[in-house]
Amino acid sequence: MAVHVVKEARRCLQCKKPLCVEGCPVRTPIPQMIGLFLEGKSDEAGKELFENNPLSTVCALVCNHEAQCEGHCIQARKGTPIHWSSIEDYISEKYLDRMKVEKAPWNGQRVAIIGSGPAGLTIAIMLARKGYKVTLFDSRDKIGGVLRYGIPAFRLPKTLLDEYEERLREMGILIRPNTSIGGALTVDDLFRDGYASVFIGTGVWRPRTLGVVGESLGNVHFAIDYLANPDSYRLGDTVAIIGAGNSAIDVARTAIRHGARVVDVYERSSKAAASEREIDYAVADGVEIHYGFNTVRIEDGGPVFKKATFDEEGNPIDYSEEKLYPADSTIVAVSQGPKDKIVNTTSDIATTRQGLVWTDREGHTTRDGVFASGDVVKGARTVVEAVKYSKMVAEAMDEYMKGLRENQ
């Protein structure tokens, strides 16, 4: 592994205007990191990566690299791009295992973080290092949110998230698992107990439905529910998946690994929303991808579709007759929306038409002292996008709480 990564790093041209950096949502200084690595300063590179992106180790594994850093590499124009993801994985994993926790002394203020997905983890780490006493609340028994319960272990090992939990505890972050804010405890209770500000990063866990007949049948399931605990499902030999985003592909590859013999993914448009790399992996695993399939209904024997014919621009121009496509189980994978428990139990927090929490550019909600970011604000997005936005929100929260201290 080390030899491969070193050889790959040596291919970097150290461009004066690195397009790879422009392609990265969090502007990772890739050439500088590669330079430090080749100079034998791996720990220094790891530290800078972590400070720029606290989830660098995670992003190295799950980012859509061909559309971001690697896709913008100048060498991709005539050949093979630098596989920065492999280099970042090597540097970041080594640093996470050996990092020395650095943080400012406690400044006297507490922060409540609701949700331990990408947004919540980013905010918690950044504010803990600034001297805030952070409590992380999560409704599940382990931290990670969508990282643990929405991404399969073959893409993101759960042991990595366990290691993050150890680092959080070393930073002094307190973790309250199995605690759902909006149930026994509310946001009002958090302010009553002295938290200077509250962050909402609860993600999107309510499955979007197709709105067709048959979605409540016993052999029909939703992708986000299946990915949370695949072991509790018995899908049978033949599985039909409706939708072709990254979650749908994760479901397909997971079903194969859990014994399904035939797995078909049905997409209504002429192109999948999932990344090209994930599609390639799914096909290699034995998944078949079908395009132009519009769901009419779902029956005991499987989904019923009308198949579209497309013009040269990918627009549907005609549809076939209805046809049943046999399957033992059907999984609906057409995105997710937010649950509304917190909003329904908290006054003065506005939402959008989609039920997402409304914020300004810096993550301020319409209630003073309450901030939000991540999927609960933007809808289902990528990990690195959640990190990018959450970094700005962490700074805004810091400024807000500094103001409270100055006015005491």
Q: Residue 18 is part of a domain; what is its CATH number? A: 1.10.1060.10
Q: Which of 98, 131, 158 is the last residue of a domain?
A: 98
Q: pLDDT band for position 1 (50/70/90)?
A: very low
C-alpha 67, offset from chain centre: 16
According to DSSP, the residues that pair with 301 across neighbouring strands are none
390 belongs to a structural domain = yes
C-alpha–C-alpha distance, residues 249 and 241, integer Å: 9
79 belongs to a structural domain = yes
C-alpha–C-alpha distance, residues 250 and 227, integer Å: 8
Domain holding 325, by residue range, is: 207-335
The verdict on 217 and 300 lying in the same domain is yes
Report the phi/psi class of residue 181: left, alpha or beta, with left for phi > 0 and alpha for psi in -120 to 50: beta
Mean pLDDT comparison of 75-84, 137-146, 309-318, highest-scoring range: 137-146
The verdict on 220 and 321 lying in the same domain is yes
3 has pLDDT over 60: no
C-alpha–C-alpha distance, residues 318 and 266, integer Å: 17
Which amino acid appears at position 323 of this protein? K
Residue 263, CA atoms < 13 Å, CB-side half-sphere: 25
Split into its structural domains, the chain has a count of 3
Q: pLDDT band for position 2 (50/70/90)?
A: very low
103 belongs to a structural domain = no
The verdict on 201 and 345 lying in the same domain is yes
62 belongs to a structural domain = yes
What pLDDT is attached to residue 206? 84
The verdict on 31 and 75 lying in the same domain is yes
C-alpha–C-alpha distance, residues 255 and 238, integer Å: 10
Over range 137-144, report the average pLDDT: 95
The verdict on 126 and 158 lying in the same domain is yes
The verdict on 57 and 134 lying in the same domain is no
Q: Which tens digits make up the pLDDT trace of 77-103?
A: 888 999 999 999 999 999 999 898 888
The verdict on 288 and 228 lying in the same domain is yes
Pairing status of strand 329-332 against strand 238-242: parallel
104 belongs to a structural domain = no
Q: Which of 98, 125, 141 is the last residue of a domain?
A: 98
C-alpha–C-alpha distance, residues 305 and 320, integer Å: 9
* Residue 22 in tokens: 């422009």
105 belongs to a structural domain = no
The verdict on 116 and 68 lying in the same domain is no
Fill in the DSSP letter of residue 165.
Answer: H
Q: Which tens digits make up the pLDDT trace of 5-16?
A: 999 999 999 999
C-alpha–C-alpha distance, residues 45 and 35, integer Å: 9
The verdict on 216 and 311 lying in the same domain is yes
How far are the Cα atoms of 29, 211, 224, 251 from residue 214, in angstroms, in the given order? Answer: 50, 9, 18, 20
Q: Which tens digits make up the pLDDT trace of 254-280?
A: 999 999 999 999 999 999 989 888 999
According to DSSP, the residues that pair with 199 across neighbouring strands are 113, 371
What pLDDT is attached to residue 340? 66
Residue from 172, 165, 161, 105 nearest 135 by CA:
172
Q: Residue 343 is part of a domain; what is its CATH number? A: 3.50.50.60
C-alpha–C-alpha distance, residues 346 and 114, integer Å: 13
The verdict on 236 and 381 lying in the same domain is no
The SS3 assignment for 166 reads: helix
* Residue 292 in tokens: 């132009």
32 belongs to a structural domain = yes
* Residue 386 in tokens: 């959640």
Mean pLDDT taken over the chain: 93
Q: Which of 280, 314, 335 is the last residue of a domain?
A: 335
**Of the candidate ranges 58-62, 206-210, 391-395, the one whose mean pLDDT is the lowest:** 206-210
The verdict on 74 and 190 lying in the same domain is no
Which runs of E-coded beta strand occur in 70-178? 110-114, 133-137, 174-176
How far are the Cα atoms of 63, 88, 91 from residue 2, in angstroms, in the given order? Answer: 21, 12, 10
141 belongs to a structural domain = yes
The SS3 assignment for 46 reads: helix
The verdict on 39 and 88 lying in the same domain is yes
The SS3 assignment for 192 reads: helix
* Residue 161 in tokens: 């998230």
Q: Which tens digits make up the pLDDT trace of 362-403?
A: 999 999 999 999 888 888 788 999 999 999 999 999 999 999
331 has pLDDT over 70: yes
* Residue 379 in tokens: 């809808």
Check if the beta carbon of residue 389 is closer than 8 Å to that of residue 363: yes
Report the phi/psi class of residue 374: left, alpha or beta, with left for phi > 0 and alpha for psi in -120 to 50: left
Check if the beta carbon of residue 223 is closer than 8 Å to that of residue 251: yes
C-alpha–C-alpha distance, residues 271 and 244, integer Å: 8
